[in-house]
Structure 1
Amino acid sequence: MFYEPLGGGRYQSTVHTTGPWSKLTQHLGPPSALMVREMEKLPAPVPMMIARVTVEILGPVPVAELSVSAAVDRPGRSVELLSAELSADGRVVARARAWRIVRSDTSAVAVDVDERLPPPSAGRVMTRPDSWGAGYLDVIEWRSLAGSLAESGPATVWGRQTVPLVGDEEPSGLQRLLTIADSGNGVSGRLDPREWLFINADLTVHVYREPVGEWIALDAVTAIGPEGIGAATSVLHDLTGPVGRGAQALLVRPQG
């Protein structure tokens, strides 16, 4: 599991949350999913679906005990604004906001604008390179259709988390999506992580269909500007087709 529930909105982080940059801090996929889980628990007046999540990273998330809370900031019968907050040792380390929109039947006019990807079985096994730290990357089963963590440039990869998010609880489709979506800048990185930092300050995910199944794909690309700023964007898929898009703002600078 990524987190052991302690009760009262508190969770103990496990070593599986450890990110690639430091053994003391987390990959932001599991914390993002944990905040989404808290927002999904908020009662809704009618059947609704979270359509957009933005996670703002306020500081490193330690591999330690965390506290999570969520609230409805702007209630409504058609559209609601939700928020969540993640704290460690009394310090807020991340915040999330989400738009939750009423469900209705638009199946007759539904349109996909991105092509469906080949399945994970068509890809090659992708393992963690020595240049990336152990933890999160080792509990995701990776299949690469194009590019990889060890290759520079755009990448199309499937990922499946092999441990639950919390305890022995089955993650929701949106939780699985957020767990993988934060890896867009990693799989499509253009720089050697031993020489460069390319860390995201946020993650925004727009969803137009709730993901189903265990596998999530990233069709990702990273752009780098001339002044230390980059952007990673991803088309997000499940096994039945595209489900949304992700974006990350990047801090880019030499290591050391």
Structure 2
Amino acid sequence: MTSPYRPPAYFVRTGPTSYRATAATSGAWNTEEQHIAPAIGLLVHLIEADFAQRRGDDLVITQISCDILGTIPVAEMDYQVRVLRPGRTIELVEACLAHGGRTAVLLRAWLLKPGDTAGLAASPLPRIPPPEHHPEWPPAEVWPGGFIASLSCRRIEHEPGRASYWLTTGTPLVDDAQASALARTVGLLDAANGMTVRADPTRVAFPNVDLTAHLFRRPFPGWIGFDTAVSFGGEGTGLTHSTLHDEDGPFGTLAQILTVRPAR
């Protein structure tokens, strides 16, 4: 009996400005398309790599705003990175992924110069219990595709649309470099919209059209925690909102706006 195929990474480099998505990126609404989560992590990795090549000093990504302009197949993609607002202590950088000449994912990131504020560090955001206090939960029972299958999840669901949970993966982000803890973390964030569903996704579709994260400190590698609430309005829109954690506590927030409609 042969072992199941395990892709070397979510993305394999194919050229100076291109990567090919592997089967590990597939799903969740359609397994012929990419789950956008790894693609967003890839864009953060590309911004960090571009910054290291251009400058090599120390600015940190503190905010990302991602627009999902359309679906993208599990296939080869081209990318571009450009600086919109250069500066010694603040930069705004944009990165995009395209397939077949069509831009599918557009991300902008604010980078700020760090400083020593250890004496001021604190947050009133409530902590969730650590991973070992959450039971294992298989998200592949709800969602198909290689990306969801690549995740390990531990979850406490309080009600449909309200849960705390922890995610990690053993799949590398790219095959040609060691991605940072931040890029690997960001590559998990878009999973939040599917980890505590308010409605059966075979009957109601609720994909997000954006993702915005604000980070007040850099996350540590390992398990990433989410304290998530999903809200549906009465006019076809919704919101998935999460407080983000590592094992030292909260480090930021996440929001995804949803279009809610009957599933096809």
Please give the TM-score of this superposition, normalised by the length of structure 1.
Answer: 0.94
Deviation at 1:131, TM superposition (A): 4.0
2:4: which partner in 1?
none
1:155 to 163, 167, 185: 163
Is structure 2 residue 78 aligned with structure 1 residue 60? no
For residues 4-36 of structure 1, give each alpha carbon's deviation from its aligned partner in whole angstroms, at most 9, with x where no partner exists. 111212111111101211111111110000111
Distance 1:169 1:46, change over 3 A: closer
- Structure-2 separation of matches of 1:61 and 1:46: 34
For residues 193-247 of structure 1, give each alpha carbon's deviation from its aligned partner in whole angstroms, at most 9, with x where no partner exists. 0100000000001111111122111111111110000011100011111110000
Alignment root-mean-square deviation, CA: 1.5
Contact 1:176–1:214 at 8 Å: present in 2 too?
no
Residue segments in structure 1 that go unaligned for 5+ positions in a row: none
1:120: which partner in 2?
131
Contact 1:203–1:249 at 8 Å: present in 2 too?
yes
Residue segments in structure 2 that go unaligned for 5+ positions in a row: 1-8
Contact 2:13–2:176 at 8 Å: present in 1 too?
no
Q: Which aligned pairs between 1:71-150 and structure 2 lie closer than 5 A? A: 71-144=82-155, 146-147=156-157
Aligned length: 253
1:234: which partner in 2?
242
Equivalent residue letter for 1:26 = Q
Equivalent residue letter for 1:147 = E
1:30: which partner in 2?
38
- Structure-2 separation of matches of 1:76 and 1:95: 21
1:200 to 180, 203, 208: 208
| Structure 1 residue ranges (4+ consecutive) displaced by more than 4 angstroms after TM superposition | none
Distance 1:131 1:47, change over 3 A: closer
- Structure-2 separation of matches of 1:236 and 1:192: 25
For residues 71-97 of structure 1, give each alpha carbon's deviation from its aligned partner in whole angstroms, at most 9, with x where no partner exists. 111101121110001011211101000
1:174 to 177, 182, 191: 182
Distance 1:71 1:168, change over 3 A: closer
1:246 to 240, 250, 254: 254
Taking only the aligned residue pairs, the percentage that are identical comes to 35
Contact 1:116–1:240 at 8 Å: present in 2 too?
no
- Structure-1 separation of matches of 2:168 and 2:35: 15
- Structure-2 separation of matches of 1:101 and 1:45: 14
